[in-house]
Amino acid sequence: MSFLEYRLKLAPSGIAKVFYINWALILVLTAIAAIGWLMLYSIAGGEMDTWALPQIKRFGMGLALLFVVAFVPIWFWRSMSGAAYLVAMILLLVVEFFGTVGMGAQRWIDLGFMRLQPSELMKVTLVMMLAAYYDWLDDKKVSRPLWVLIPVLLIVAPTILVLMQPNLGTSVMLIMAGGAVMFAAGVSLWYFGVVAAGGGGTVAAVIFSEGTPWQLLHDYQYKRIHTFLDPSADPLGAGYNIIQAKIALGSGGWAGKGFMQGTQSRLNFLPEKHTDFIFTTLGEEFGFIGAISLLALYTLVLVFCIFAAVQNKDRFSQLLIIGVAVNFFLYIAVNLSMVMGMAPVVGVPLPLLSYGGSATLVILLAFGLVQSAIVHRPR
């Protein structure tokens, strides 16, 4: 009999669960989403119907989903982990062969009311799968090579499928979120050291071999890498988006140009202004103060998650919450580094702000799981 099952009698049941939900977290998430609606309204030139209203509806749907998931006991979700992972893998395979390619080369399945991106779903199911795996696995075996290989394969398989779409941003997030769960589960630091050293060494070898007789890649491949890393070298092509994004952010100054006054977004200089680059409009219209406030709200979400993970004594719950938090953090870090010109442009949305169904629903679903873990934690 496990620790969790032993303590089950103390878990809340029925309508009483409402009192155990972390309402502060939900409030912060809604606040973030509300900022998103404001920006979508502004970008559409003062129109609700274009982007803001559909996004509010999706958020409402996602919030309902969150409560449904939160009310279902966490051990149910643990037992569903394997199945969920399998479904997500099958969906990935389906879109690989039958899906529709859209903007940013992300593949989706049209469900009629929304477009489902299985790669977004996989971000959550991978975390669930790994958490369930380490919950099941004997503590003493976590660092044994064979038992390390299994989660590595669980991570690599969907990553390869996503990479083939091609969707570099999501691939990176899958690897890093998966790695984070493994790290939290207590896998020996040596493995991470070796992977880091191996990866770093390969990158170093590729970079330093350029121009030498033993050069590892073709010249044109190096050229692509350079454009990817330094878009400003190509100001009208790949670099255009990032230059315009930086202009929008920078021209906002301290307090911004004011709501609906952003010239960069209103006059269409910004690319993807309602999706991946939505943060630039925030920076332009509300300035440094607006931008740093959003960052503070995001940080608050992360703090809540870390706190919930530390407080929880259930291993599955702990790992799941950490996995979700890392995913959430990666969305933010990758997107913001990208629009602020600190990292190459890869298609990663800003969570709860960017216009889009899959990411919003999946994020709220994930926080539903977090809430379930909080509600049903052993007391």
Partner 1 sequence: MRRTPRDTEATSRSVTRRALVMGGGMAAMVAALGARMRFLGVEQADEFRLLAEENRINIRLIPPARGLIQDRNGKLIAGNEQNYRVVITRENAGKTDEDVQQVLNRLSHIIPMTAEDLSDALKALKRNSAFVPITVADRVSWDDFSKIAVNAPALPGVTPEVGLSRVYPRDSDFAHIVGYVGPVSEKDLAGLENPDPLLRIPKFQIGKIGVEKWMEDTLRGSAGTKRIEVNAVGRVMRELDREEGVKGKDLRLTIDADVQNFVQARLGDESAACVVIEVNTGDIIAAVSSPSFDPNLFVRGISQTDYSTLTEHDHRPLANKVVQGAYPPGSTFKMVTALAALEAGAVDVNTSVRCPGYLEVGGRKFHCWKRGGHGKVDLQRSLAESCDVYFYDTAMKVGIDKIAEMGRKLGLGQRHDLPMSAITEGSMPDKAWKREKHKAEWVIGDTINASIGQGFVLTSPLQLAVMTARIASGKMVAPRIIHSINDQPVDIAPAESLGLEGSKLRAVQMGMFEVMNGANGTAKSSRIVDETMRMCGKTGTAQVRNISTAERDTGVVSNDRLPWKQRDHALFVGFAPADNPRYAVSVVVEHGGGGSTVAAPIARDALLRALTGTLPPLTAYPADQRGRMETLLNALQLRLPDGSQPAPSKV
C-alpha 375/C-alpha 301 separation (Å) is 17
CA end-to-end distance (rounded Å), the chain: 16
Residue 333 found at the interface with partner 1 (CB under 8 A): yes
Two tokens, residue 365? 């679903």
Please say which residue, 115 or 246, places its beta carbon nearer to partner 1: 246
Which residues, numbered 172-191, are part of the site for partner 1 (CB under 8 A)?
A: 180, 183-186
Site of tokens 């202004």: 273
Please say which residue, 105 or 292, places its beta carbon nearer to partner 1: 292
Count Cα atoms within 13 angstroms, Cβ side, for 232.
8
Residue 283 found at the interface with partner 1 (CB under 8 A): yes
Site of tokens 């989706």: 108
Is 117:87 a contact under the CB 8 Å cutoff?
no
Residue 86 found at the interface with partner 1 (CB under 8 A): no
**Smallest separation, CB 50 to partner 1 (Å):** 17
Kindly write out the interface string for residues 45-84 of this chain, putting x where it contacts partner 1 by CB under 8 A and - elsewhere.
Answer: ---------------------------------xx--x--
Please say which residue, 2 or 13, places its beta carbon nearer to partner 1: 2
Q: Which of 59, 77, 85, 298 binds partner 1 (CB under 8 A)?
A: 298
Is 52:44 a contact under the CB 8 Å cutoff?
yes
Q: Is 345 helix (H, G, I), strand (E, B) or coil?
A: coil
Is 169:346 a contact under the CB 8 Å cutoff?
yes
Please say which residue, 167 or 264, places its beta carbon nearer to partner 1: 264
Give the total of residues touching partner 1 (CB under 8 A): 61
Residue 267 found at the interface with partner 1 (CB under 8 A): yes
**Smallest separation, CB 124 to partner 1 (Å):** 18
Is 346:338 a contact under the CB 8 Å cutoff?
yes
Is 373:317 a contact under the CB 8 Å cutoff?
yes
Backbone φ/ψ region at 45: left (φ over 0), alpha (ψ -120 to 50), beta: left
Radius of gyration of the chain measured on its C-alpha atoms: 22
C-alpha 356/C-alpha 229 separation (Å) is 27
Q: Is 114 helix (H, G, I), strand (E, B) or coil?
A: coil
C-alpha 55/C-alpha 57 separation (Å) is 5
Give me the phi and psi of 108, to 5 degrees please.
Answer: -135, 165
Residue 136 found at the interface with partner 1 (CB under 8 A): yes
Residue 369 found at the interface with partner 1 (CB under 8 A): no
Q: Which of 12, 54, 239, 250 binds partner 1 (CB under 8 A)?
A: 250
Please say which residue, 223 or 313, places its beta carbon nearer to partner 1: 313
Q: Which of 269, 304, 331, 367 binds partner 1 (CB under 8 A)?
A: 269
Please say which residue, 161 or 242, places its beta carbon nearer to partner 1: 242
Q: Which residues bind to partner 1, rule: CB under 8 A?
A: 1-3, 78-79, 82, 132, 135-136, 138-139, 180, 183-186, 244, 246-254, 263-264, 266-269, 283-284, 287-288, 291-292, 295, 298-299, 302, 306, 309-310, 312-315, 318-319, 322, 325-326, 329, 332-333, 336-337, 340, 342
